[in-house]
Structure 1
Amino acid sequence: MNDVLGRVLVVDDDEVIRQLIAVNLTLEGFEVETAHDGQDCLDRVHEVDPDIITLDVMMPRLDGWETATRLRTDRSTSHIKVVLITARAQEDDRRRGLGIGVDAYLTKPFDPAELIDVVRELADGSALSS
C-alpha cells in the first residue's frame, strides 16, 4: 500500500462534484474528507487537519471567498494550501482569489488530471504560478 500523499478537505455544495474530486484524489493516494459548504469547512478544519483544501466559491451559508479569507486570517489555519475551484472564470475573480492568498485557482468544468497535478504540486511544497 502506498503512503498517503497528504490530507485534503474537499468543500463543495454539489454532492456530485464533491464526490468526483474526492474519488479522484483518493485514487491518487490522498486521504480525503469532505464538507458541504464553507461553514462546514470551518467547523471541521481543526478536526480534519488538512494539508490542502479544495474550495468551491458559490455555496450557501458561507461562500468560498469568505471561507478562504477566514482560513488565511486565522493563524491556526493560514498555512493550509487552498485551491479555489469555481465556475467564476473572470480575471477579476481570479485576481480576487489570488489577492486573498489562495494557492491555486481552477475553473469549472475542470480536468480531473489538472486538479490532481495541482494538488500533488501543493502537497510536494512546490510553488504554483497560477
Structure 2
Amino acid sequence: MRVMLAASDNRLSFPICFHLIQNGCQIDTAYDGLECLTKLKQSPPDTLILSEGLLWGNADGIVACLRENEPLSSIPVVLILNQPDSDMTIAWVDTPVVTSLPKPIHPSELPDFLSSLSACLLSCEAAKTEIAATSLR
C-alpha cells in the first residue's frame, strides 16, 4: 500500500513512517499543504494520512481540494486531530475522510495510536475498493 503522510510534526511523523515501513507500506511525506497538494497530483497514494495542523494549507484546505479534484476525490483520508473533540470534524462531512484519530499527547500513547492507525488503513483499503466498485456501475 502506498501511503502519504502529511504532517508538520516530526516527533509524530518519524514513528508513523517507521511503523508503516515495518508493516510493508511505501511512504511518501509532505511537511506542508503546498508540498502535499503537489505530491498528490504527481503521484496519488492509496491512502492519505493528514494532520489537522498541517502548515500552509491546513487539513481543511487539503480536503477541500481533494473534494473538488475528481481523480483525487477517491483517495481515502485518515485525519489526525489535534484534539479528540475538535470542531474541525464538522468540516469533514461529504469528504473522503474515512476516519479520524486523536494525536497522541504522550509517548506512552504511541503504541495504541499506531495500532489504531493500522486498523484505519485496513478500513481505507476496503473503502477504496468500495469506491472503485461503485464507480464502475
In 2: Cα distance, 1:25 partner to 1:105 partner: 17
Gaps of 5+ in 2: 105-109, 131-137
2:92 equivalent among 91, 94, 97: 97
Amino acid at match of 1:19: F
2:26 equivalent among 10, 28, 31: 31
Amino acid at match of 2:99: A
Deviates more, 1:87-96 or 1:53-62: 87-96
In 2: Cα distance, 1:14 partner to 1:106 partner: 15
Count of residues in Structure 1 that have an aligned counterpart in Structure 2: 122
Deviates more, 1:75-84 or 1:17-26: 17-26
Correspondence for 1:3: none
1:17 corresponds to 2:19: no
The two structures have a TM-score, normalised by structure 2, of 0.79
Deviates more, 1:83-92 or 1:29-38: 83-92
Gaps of 5+ in 1: 1-5
Correspondence for 2:125: 123
Structure number with greater Rg is 2
Higher helix share: 2
In 2: Cα distance, 1:102 partner to 1:86 partner: 12
